[in-house]
A and B are shown apart, each in its own frame.
Chain A
């Protein structure tokens, strides 16, 4: 049964599905970090997105409003972060931590009334093509629109950063805010926009979790995915295409758990659950060991505040 080609296709499709929130959140955070801002609040923004999406879906019944609302929820909470770090020049690390603690608290508070409510079915695209090709069709067809968007996003992000003028501005601000500012670029504005964009993507990632992947609201349901997304940005050495590879690896680790349990491998379930976190550490060590490479690819002003004296 394991050698059935369609079954392998199904496994790959499920790995891809579980890597979607990681791709979305890391691509958003990547843009934020490329502009020189380290936002550790990914977990908080994701969980806000998850509850906003689920709550709006339940209340309004419209999936479209829910998805947009989840992104706006992410934007709204990241505005707090942007105002604090950019206008009031606070420490990025501490502010990001506060954002995560606050986000988890607020989401649980709002979500209290939504526990146990079943989610709605999210429409999938190309459903009729699902049985046409062996192996390929479960991978290519029958997924939600967010799924396709997530897998296109790294390529768009790459194009944006490398080929467009705006992308160049973002990179300039991240590498040397002083020179960018002297060139007449409004550093604050660029950083504000990048933070809010990151918030929107994390919100969408959260909405994917609560509306599509496991359509229900569970308290603390992001379960550390936000932190893994942050690690993925380092793993990718700030290159969006590599995020795709990293996210697939972590998606794979999540899926492997289920299959190993199903096959009956005698490993404690806690060990399998811990695997993604342990692998994250190991991968971080391998990537970071080459300190020269890390230094070359890290945005030079990452995590440093920029204040323009008037």
Chain B
């Protein structure tokens, strides 16, 4: 039986009777560090099955429709990659921030603003074709994301303002800016007052990779981000500085790292990634600007970053797994009338279970066996 932990030394005599003991590890276990995400996913599936059961669905059938049916064919798999691309890209950017102890939770806003800037540029060229258009549009998106991310970064470094609250408030602001633009000045003059812009010209759209599928060249942006981030994290001085600052800001200060510069840099990187994800959305599957550029990819990517353990390779796997919750929610809604918000519930649960299973990182459970 698990008993109350005894007070220090006072109840030493009782120790012998304990069957299970919880002991603090001297060092976090590395094997468990990469195993707990898997554990978290299994626990989420279990809890999800339970929720389906409570809602009156057959748990196994519901889980099948949620996690297997959507990716069973080639089209489904390409849709999975389509959803995983922005998640992976944003999460890679966020891992720069989270590694160095900067809580940028406004990636959704940076994505939206990146989409606005790149969409604006794409609209300038709406009746032109040319190879030079797409690079300019992509660059504009990255710059837009960076500009937007620089606001919380500068306010944090020079005005001591909490970056969590600022970056989050900016999400609401960016969505309202987008709304204003697509309803007002940028709305399609021939669009019968629908809240959307003109279609971009074909030169401003990311090429489709396979005929008949929606998967587009944006996936290469995500893969490039993975490679670059891996290099920066593990092969450069900057990566080392970020790691040290993440462990202890005091140590970083003592070592003489330029803290302010680094804060701004990591915010710019993560803003650029989110902005690129925004470009991928509007120049890929959408092809124009409208009200809903992203189904909360920016928030979900926070979960992806944690589930992937802020490691580039881990993030690839995590983005694929979390992307299923988007597809699964749609499939389950169509085939079983399961509300689509179940996706969000699953995402919240994954993060809960992941954080909870981190307990095993720092503590181990010892089976001592009953003496006597």
Beyond A106-B345, A277-B172, 19 extra complex contacts between A and B, CB < 8 Å:
A90-B355, A90-B358, A95-B355, A97-B105, A97-B302, A98-B351, A98-B352, A101-B347, A102-B344, A102-B348, A102-B352, A105-B346, A109-B341, A109-B345, A112-B341, A274-B173, A277-B170, A280-B165, A288-B161
A224 on the B face (CB < 8 A): yes
The answer to whether A102 and B345 have CB atoms under 8 Å apart is yes
CA distance A274 to B300 in the complex (A): 23
The answer to whether A277 and B355 have CB atoms under 8 Å apart is no
CA distance A93 to B339 in the complex (A): 28
**Nearest-CB residue, chain A, relative to B358:** A90
Interface CB pairs A-B, < 8 A, 10: A90-B356, A95-B352, A98-B303, A98-B351, A101-B299, A224-B172, A277-B172, A289-B159, A309-B24, A310-B6
The answer to whether B172 and A274 have CB atoms under 8 Å apart is yes
Q: Which of A94, A278, A284 contacts B351 (CB 8 A)?
A: A94
Asked whether A108 and B184 contact (CB < 8 A) given A234-B165, A277-B173, A284-B162, the answer is no
The answer to whether A104 and B176 have CB atoms under 8 Å apart is no
B177 on the A face (CB < 8 A): yes
B77 on the A face (CB < 8 A): no
Asked whether A101 and B351 contact (CB < 8 A) given A274-B172, A289-B160, the answer is yes
CA distance A92 to B352 in the complex (A): 11
Q: Which of A98, A101, A106, A274 contacts B176 (CB 8 A)?
A: A274
The answer to whether B355 and A84 have CB atoms under 8 Å apart is yes
Which of A59-67, A118-126, A200-208, A265-273 lines the interface with chain B? A265-273
The answer to whether B341 and A88 have CB atoms under 8 Å apart is no
**Nearest-CB residue, chain B, relative to A101:** B348
B57 on the A face (CB < 8 A): no
Q: What secondary structure prevails in chain B residues at the interface with A?
A: helix
Residues of A participating in the B interface, judged by any CB pair closer than 8 Å: 40, 80, 84, 88-91, 93-95, 97-99, 101-106, 108-109, 112, 224, 227, 230-231, 234, 268, 270-271, 273-274, 277-278, 280-281, 284-285, 288-289, 291, 294, 309-310
CA distance A106 to B343 in the complex (A): 10
The answer to whether B166 and A97 have CB atoms under 8 Å apart is no
The answer to whether B302 and A288 have CB atoms under 8 Å apart is no
Q: Which of A94, A224, A231, A288 contacts B160 (CB 8 A)?
A: A288
Q: Mark B347-372, 1 if CB is under 8 A from A, else 0.
A: 11101100110110010000000000
CB neighbors of A among B151-200 (8 A): 155, 159-162, 164-166, 168-170, 172-173, 176-177, 179-180, 183-184
The answer to whether B356 and A84 have CB atoms under 8 Å apart is yes
CA distance A94 to B357 in the complex (A): 14
The answer to whether B352 and A80 have CB atoms under 8 Å apart is yes
Chain B nearest CB from A1 CB (Å) reads 30
The answer to whether B303 and A101 have CB atoms under 8 Å apart is yes
Chain A nearest CB from B271 CB (Å) reads 16
**Nearest-CB residue, chain B, relative to A286:** B159
The answer to whether B166 and A284 have CB atoms under 8 Å apart is yes
Q: What secondary structure prevails in chain A residues at the interface with B?
A: helix
Contacts of A98 in B (CB 8 A): 303, 348, 351-352, 355
Q: Mark B109-121, 1 if CB is under 8 A from A, else 0.
A: 0000000000000
Q: Which of B160, B173, B343 contacts A105 (CB 8 A)?
A: B343
Chain B nearest CB from A102 CB (Å) reads 3
Contacts of A99 in B (CB 8 A): 348
CA distance A274 to B166 in the complex (A): 13
The answer to whether B170 and A97 have CB atoms under 8 Å apart is no
**Nearest-CB residue, chain B, relative to A80:** B352
CA distance A203 to B170 in the complex (A): 25
Chain B nearest CB from A86 CB (Å) reads 12
Asked whether A108 and B339 contact (CB < 8 A) given A84-B356, A90-B355, A93-B103, the answer is yes
The answer to whether A310 and B7 have CB atoms under 8 Å apart is yes
Residues of B participating in the A interface, judged by any CB pair closer than 8 Å: 5-8, 24, 55, 103, 105, 155, 159-162, 164-166, 168-170, 172-173, 176-177, 179-180, 183-184, 299-300, 302-303, 306, 339, 341-349, 351-352, 355-356, 358-359, 362
Asked whether A285 and B161 contact (CB < 8 A) given A97-B351, A101-B299, the answer is yes
The answer to whether B160 and A227 have CB atoms under 8 Å apart is no
Chain A nearest CB from B121 CB (Å) reads 21
Contacts of B349 in A (CB 8 A): 102
Contacts of A93 in B (CB 8 A): 103, 164
**Nearest-CB residue, chain B, relative to A292:** B160
The answer to whether B8 and A310 have CB atoms under 8 Å apart is yes
The 5 closest A-B pairs by CB, nearest first: A102-B348, A105-B344, A98-B351, A108-B341, A105-B345
Q: Which of A88, A112, A224, A268 contacts B339 (CB 8 A)?
A: A112
Contacts of B173 in A (CB 8 A): 274, 277-278
CA distance A91 to B355 in the complex (A): 8
The answer to whether A270 and B180 have CB atoms under 8 Å apart is yes
Chain B nearest CB from A20 CB (Å) reads 21
The answer to whether B159 and A94 have CB atoms under 8 Å apart is no
Of the candidates B339, B346, B352, the one having the most CB atoms from chain A within 10 angstroms of its own CB is: B352
**Nearest-CB residue, chain B, relative to A40:** B164
**Nearest-CB residue, chain B, relative to A106:** B345
Q: Which of A40, A268, A273 contacts B184 (CB 8 A)?
A: A268
CA distance A286 to B131 in the complex (A): 47
The answer to whether A109 and B339 have CB atoms under 8 Å apart is yes
The answer to whether A281 and B155 have CB atoms under 8 Å apart is yes
Asked whether A231 and B348 contact (CB < 8 A) given A84-B356, A94-B306, the answer is no
Q: Which of A108, A268, A274, A284 contacts B165 (CB 8 A)?
A: A284
The answer to whether B160 and A89 have CB atoms under 8 Å apart is no
Contacts of B339 in A (CB 8 A): 108-109, 112
The answer to whether B162 and A104 have CB atoms under 8 Å apart is no
The answer to whether B348 and A270 have CB atoms under 8 Å apart is no
CA distance A270 to B302 in the complex (A): 27
Chain B nearest CB from A271 CB (Å) reads 7
